[in-house]
Structure 1
Amino acid sequence: MSNLFKNKSVILIGPAEYAYSNAIDTENFDIVVRINHSVPVRGITLTKTGSRCDVYYPNPDLINSPICFSEKIKHIRTDKSHLEFWHSNLEEKVTSYNFDFYQYCKRIGSNINTGMAAILDIFFGEPSLFYVTGISFYRGEKIYHQNYSSKFQERIMLATRGNISSHNQFLQWKYFSENILPYIEADDFIKSIREKDFF
């Protein structure tokens, strides 16, 4: 198991637009985590959260993308089954999750989104403080901030509420709300999500 997060204060900043209504002082945390297209940090995200990204979680489509080579990103986390696909120049940055991805897909009953993978990995890494913001499980009116994805992609994700490619948002939220949320800190939106919001 990686000691990357052990006894550290960690903030995971997801892509949901509601997270950027107020400024977040990332300097209060030892480790700042971002996922997928949240890097490079720009626009309102940069204004409200600063540019830090100590740990980056890319989905498989972003393996070896130019952003992965940025000196600002100190660590990249990935599933162990993907380690062989990373460029040799990134070997020192890339390490595998603190959990078995496919075992947890089976346990939860859903393919796990990158955001949920990051939550599980950090949680099992035993941080002293873990704060999650900007993870909406595709609830709400505006699921991504303006620089995160194309309008076309956002329309698809809004229409499906993220339930594509065997991703089941309700099952992921249910596992999160029962097994993780009681033991971490999270923003008010995350804490307000209820089962009825999925049906």
Structure 2
Amino acid sequence: MASVMDKIKAKTAELKNQQSQNNEMKLDVQIHYNSKIEYEEFGIIENEVKNRLIQCEEKAVHHAKMMSNSVMELSRVFSEAQALLASHHGGGFKKWFEELGFKKDFVYMCLKRNDLFLELSDEKVFVIPEKAVKTISKIKDRIDIEEVKEIVNSEKPTEKAKEKENGLSGHPTTEIIEIEFTKNENKIKLIEERIAKYSKIIKNLEEELKNLKS
């Protein structure tokens, strides 16, 4: 029969083996993470410092992804709550999110992002800078949908959006549609889509106006 000391030794060996496997798993994760930064450009040549920075980089990317997922979910929640409260009590939406501790600027930025997502079906709208979202919201009804996608997917969406806005300077704000159609049903479909689009925009503006007045 195994003695108490033998059992302790066996348990210790088992724990060491588990720890070794965990370390190998951690090392495997680190090996498979591809750094996005050339640290030599920062003058960093020490491997120890570089490895620690890569760990920080990996954590930053991980938490940024978690944060963008949270913004995406909150955007959907706020949009649904706004629609529900709009049909019951004017100004109730602002009171609702303030009771939950959310700030107006953050909530309405989430709503802008959700509106863009509904139009583009591209989750990148939840991670681009706020300035880019604001500019896009100002000009998206005056440019083609492909141009909006181009802004969202560019390396510098804020600068790209500003460039598009500057290109529209001096143009009338009223949108003029001059498209030739070969079939009437194509024109009807486009008009119906634009009516739905602008109806939603008007509804959101009316709700925002109510909130500001309240």
TM > 0.5 between the two?
no
TM-score by length of 1: 0.24
TM-score by length of 2: 0.23
- Return the structure number with greater relative CO, CA threshold 8 A, min gap 6: 1
**Greater strand proportion:** 1
**Greater helix proportion:** 2
Give the number of the structure whose alpha-carbon radius of gyration is greater: 2
